[in-house]
């Protein structure tokens, strides 16, 4: 039985920078920046629908990153929709008829943005309603299955009953028995309680399973990329899980393979990708290229810059080099949950299994971040309170675009009715995807 290495290892977390070449800063263009319309709209409780439209259209025209590849003709959108917004006129927000007009205007915005590629695109309206075209696009895929979403209600939940629904102890009852149950060790996020769970989801969940004996495989599931934040916080209940995984990886020479379970991972901090992959490489790993906007023009871009993960010092690398690295992904693997398998696909010992990912590969940052420059989210007027989307565009090592498309796995797996039935078998629940990952690693030994 392995010892529980609870002492914090002195690990190096790779914070890889993004090289950006700036040719200009965002100029001050009064009455062209979306926020400048705030004074014209909503004054004295009035809404000018044409200015609302122009505010949103201009903000997207200036800040959106994918006009060079997007199929939507944004100029044609202007010509089509400005008469519709102008016909709505100027209305008092307290007018009984304003609700109908606001509803029509919201519908127009939905139509305008329905086919935009950015998977991170989210538009929040005055009433708090938010639309995310990427969500609807995923549901149209031929292989989309609602079981994939329900599956993560189980994974993200603590064992027990939440909102009247019973949840399995997934890792103890399903994952662990498929390794060597006599020697496998399980390290869940500790300190969770039913009070921490909202609608069956945890804010930050991590599970590390160390499979001993002949199946000495590291299995690491986490639902979001907030690893470094919790790793450096010794009081975080997530800290032990991350530390255990990193310690086993970098100190034990018997590890035969690594499984990163990124199914349902919604993304987060980009440096975390380097944190988990840098110990597994011995030379720079080029994921692809990245760029942003450097001016208000629709096609004002910085040059493409390398998007690279750099290896850590040799003493912090995996003790067993060249071990198989497997990523499990599905259509709910988003953002960093897609960039990570993209990186693993570039590793000579990497293998990605599952289904095509969500299609939101451009990093998104807050609208007050100094890296925002001329691309990314903006605040609108009264109708559209906030438009959020990627601030940086990413493409693959050979120039491939994944935005609105997703990263395809090396090996496609299904999660249909048969797999769902096995998953729900009370006597012998099974995760066939995990079992296939273990089988793959064994085949490489």
Q: How far apart are CA 218 and CA 245, in angstroms?
A: 7
Residue 210 bridge partners (DSSP)? 185, 218
Q: In sequence order, which ranges of 89-191 are alpha helices (DSSP H)?
A: 98-113, 133-139, 146-155, 170
- Residue 193 near residue 237, CB atoms below 8 Å: no
3-state secondary structure of 329: strand
Helix (H) or strand (E) holding 428: none
Q: Distance from first CA to last CA of the chain, Å, rounded?
A: 22
Helix 98-113 vs helix 49-63: crossing angle, to nearest 10? 20
Q: How far apart are CA 135 and CA 131, in angstroms?
A: 9
Report which of 214, 216, 162, 221 is spatially closest to residue 193, judged by C-alpha positions: 162
pLDDT in tens, the chain (445 residues): 334 333 333 333 322 232 222 222 222 333 344 444 444 455 556 889 999 999 999 999 999 999 999 999 999 999 999 999 999 999 887 887 788 999 999 999 999 999 999 999 999 999 999 999 999 999 999 988 877 766 555 554 444 444 444 445 666 677 777 776 665 665 555 433 333 322 223 334 555 566 655 668 888 887 788 888 777 877 766 677 778 788 888 988 888 899 998 988 888 889 999 999 999 999 999 999 999 998 888 999 999 999 999 999 998 899 887 899 999 999 999 999 999 999 999 999 999 999 999 999 998 876 555 455 577 888 888 899 999 999 899 999 999 999 999 999 999 998 888 888 887 777 788 889 989 999 999 999 8
- Residue 265 near residue 222, CB atoms below 8 Å: yes
Length of the chain: 445
Structure-token pair, residue 404: 């609105």
């Amino acid at each position: 039985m392995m010892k529980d290495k609870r002492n914090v290892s002195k690990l190096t977390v790779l914070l890889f920078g993004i090289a950006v070449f700036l040719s200009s800063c965002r100029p001050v263009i009064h009455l062209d920046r979306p926020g400048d319309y705030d004074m014209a709209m909503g004054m004295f409780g009035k809404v000018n629908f044409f200015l609302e439209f122009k505010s949103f259209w201009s903000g997207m025209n200036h800040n959106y990153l994918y006009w060079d590849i997007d199929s939507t003709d944004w100029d044609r959108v202007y010509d089509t929709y400005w008469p519709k917004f102008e016909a709505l006129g100027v209305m008092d927000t307290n007018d009984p008829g304003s609700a109908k007009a606001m509803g029509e205007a919201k519908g127009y915005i939905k139509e305008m943005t329905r086919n935009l590629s950015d998977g991170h695109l989210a538009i929040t309206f005055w009433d708090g309603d938010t639309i995310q075209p990427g969500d609807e696009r995923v549901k149209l895929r031929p292989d989309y299955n609602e079981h994939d979403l329900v599956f993560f209600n189980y994974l993200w939940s603590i064992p027990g009953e939440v909102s009247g629904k019973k949840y399995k102890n997934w890792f103890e009852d399903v994952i662990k028995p498929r390794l060597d149950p006599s020697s496998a060790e399980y390290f869940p996020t500790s300190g969770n309680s039913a009070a921490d769970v909202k609608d069956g989801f945890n804010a930050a969940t991590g599970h590390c399973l160390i499979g001993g004996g002949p199946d000495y495989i590291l299995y690491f599931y986490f639902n979001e990329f907030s690893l470094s934040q919790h790793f450096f916080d010794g009081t975080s209940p997530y800290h032990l899980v991350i530390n255990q995984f990193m310690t086993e990886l970098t100190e034990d020479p018997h590890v035969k393979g690594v499984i990163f379970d990124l199914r349902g991972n919604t993304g987060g901090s980009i440096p975390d990708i380097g944190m988990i992959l840098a110990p597994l490489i011995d030379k720079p790993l080029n994921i692809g290229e990245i760029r942003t906007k450097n001016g208000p023009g629709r096609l004002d871009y910085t040059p493409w810059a390398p998007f690279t993960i750099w290896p850590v010092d040799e003493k912090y690398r995996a003790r067993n080099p060249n071990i198989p690295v497997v990523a499990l992904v599905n259509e709910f693997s988003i953002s960093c949950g897609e960039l990570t398998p993209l990186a693993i696909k570039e590793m000579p010992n990497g293998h990605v299994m599952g289904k095509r990912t969500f299609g939101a590969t451009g990093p998104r940052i807050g609208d007050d971040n100094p890296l925002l420059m001329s691309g990314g989210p903006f605040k609108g007027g009264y109708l559209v309170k906030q438009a959020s989307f990627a601030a940086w565009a990413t493409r693959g090592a050979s120039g491939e675009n994944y935005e609105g498309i997703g990263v395809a796995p090396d090996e496609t797996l299904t999660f249909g009715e048969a797999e769902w039935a096995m998953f729900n078998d009370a006597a012998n629940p099974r995760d066939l995807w995990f079992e296939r990952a273990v089988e793959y690693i064994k085949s490489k030994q």
